[in-house]
Structure 1
């Protein structure tokens, strides 16, 4: 099995993907990854979905709403950020925007004059630090070596920092088995109490919603779709009944079942 994730080697996405496949290729954006899986080019794709400090990765939410793919697994991994550089008198800190945000308090306190530069991935920032002595990167401490060293470890603002990743597969591999389900709902409507109506089918059947996010539909200003995660599998009768009610509530829209899956915690 070949999987694709955010590159280059050494990203947190890369570390999570090692739990899915031994052979791994890389792309530079989440949308490219989801597109590659939807087209059948790859067996699996791994994308970050949510961080415990900074919240959801909006590009991932938008991509799974746009492309028809299956979520077949959730991987949760702790995020241990280290400051990596050739020397202590650097001028710029380069990393993924999420990593910079997750270390905001440390950077403001320890390096208030440093310029923050958002790059495509944490590994790209580490590469910049390895090539340029005026640049520091933020990444896993295992990325040290080859000219750069760890200046500080565990610099994230919260010690409980962790990220959820989705393992994606082509749509024909979508499963109803698993303890958790992800859905995308597009009501194509807007009226008082609409969201309450969308939630009631789950509440009435004692199905716990673990996440609810709204994202612009891209169709027109003020038009939204919703991402639901629920603690129930699609195989369960209560879930089937809730979704039947939900579809009746959105006659002009749609409900997409991304799939049911189990959660795996990966500690590295």
Structure 2
């Protein structure tokens, strides 16, 4: 089995993908991972979708909502520890600029502000580590594995602003997962502009059936100011009778609804 992940090697996404069985193939962007799964170049793809500090990974949500008919079959949650990497022999006082993915930079904001240095955004944490190789006055925020891969040293560990820094990844494929009895379902929907109280009505469907919502998120629809789509995660499987009835009702109440997948709750097989 071949697994695509948002790379290059040395990213947290690679660490998440490595928990699965299969041959790992790195792609340079989230959209390339989704393309590889869509075109069946690989069996599955792994991409980040949410961080406990910085919130949703917008590009993943947007692509799954409107551009790709892929299914979430599993979620993987990792504890994220950020490190400052530099070339051998470099000390913190030598660092003039730091490179990393925008999410990593945001998650280490306090540490970086105290250093009072320039930051630069890169496509991934591993790309940052690769970029600074040989640059004595540059540092990168990245993983232990990235340091090993690119011959760097860790000059400061656990530099994230908060200890409870978790990132959620999703495994994407074309295969719908059967009910396990301990599942979560993700959906996305939009509302009619002439429907006051539309969101309240949709959320009320779950409340009346005593179904717990584990996440609700809004994103711009890209169709004009004030136009949004809504992402909801809730307990239950789309084949459960109560959930199926709710989804059918939402279809009748809204112009657009899409089931992104039903999959085992994190920590369950």
Q: Does TM-score exceed 0.5, indicating one fold?
A: yes
Partner of 1:153: 157
The answer to whether 1:92 aligns with 2:97 is yes
Residue 193 (structure 1) aligned with residue 197 (structure 2): yes
| 1:176–1:234 CA contact under 8 A, matched in 2 | no
Alpha-carbon separation, structure 1, partners of 2:222 and 2:212:
28
Displacement of 1:37: 1.3
Q: CA separation in 1, counterparts of 2:134 and 2:103?
A: 22
CA distance in 2, matches of 1:222, 1:192: 14
Distance 2:194 2:47 in 1: 31
Q: Tell me the residue number matched to 1:3.
A: 3
Please state whether the residue corresponding to 1:131 is helix, strand or coil.
coil
Superposition pairs for residues 100-111 of structure 1, below 5 Å? 100-109=105-114, 111=115
Deviates most, 11-20 or 233-242: 233-242
Cross-structure match for 2:82: 81
Judge conservation of contact 1:73–1:262 (CA < 8 Å) in 2: yes
Matching residue of 2:36 = 36
Aligned twin of 2:137: 134
Partner Cα separation in structure 2 for residue 263 and residue 244 of structure 1: 23
Q: Which SS does the other structure have where 2:246 is aligned? A: helix
Deviation of 1:190 after TM superposition, in Å, equals 4.6
Mean alpha-carbon deviation: is it higher for 126-135 or for 155-164? 126-135
Equivalent in 172, 182, 185 of residue 181 of structure 1:
185
Q: Distance in 1 between matches of 2:131 and 2:120?
A: 10
Is the contact made by 2:238 and 2:262 (CA closer than 8 Å) also made in structure 1? yes
* Alpha-carbon separation, structure 2, partners of 1:30 and 1:70: 15
Give the equivalent residue in structure 1 for 2:60: 60
Q: Per-residue displacement from partner, 1:96-139 (whole Å, max 9, x unpaired)?
A: 00000000011112x11x11000000001111222322211111
Contact 1:85 1:135 in 2 (8 A): yes
**Structure 2 residue aligned with 1:257:** 259
Give the total of aligned pairs.
260
Of 224, 231, 236, which residue of structure 2 is paired with 1:232? Answer: 236
| Contact map agreement 2:9 2:146 (CA 8 A) in 1 | no
- What whole-Å deviation, never above 9, does each CA across 1:9-64 have from its counterpart, x for those lacking one? 01000110111243111222212211221222221011101001100000010011
CA distance in 2, matches of 1:187, 1:115: 42
Q: Is contact 1:11–1:121 with CA below 8 Å preserved after alignment? A: yes
Please state whether the residue corresponding to 2:95 is helix, strand or coil: coil
In terms of mean alpha carbon deviation, does 185-194 or 219-228 score higher?
A: 185-194
SS of aligned partner of 2:133 = helix
TM-score (norm 2): 0.91
Structure 1: segments with no counterpart, 5+ residues = none
Q: CA deviation at 1:263?
A: 3.8
Separation in structure 1 between the aligned mates of residue 57 and residue 38 of structure 2, nearest angstrom:
19
Inter-partner Cα distance in structure 1 for 2:225 and 2:34: 25
TM-score (norm 1): 0.92
Name the Cα RMSD after superposition: 1.7
Q: Distance in 1 between matches of 2:28 and 2:253?
A: 38
Contact kept? 2:3, 2:42, Cα under 8 Å? yes
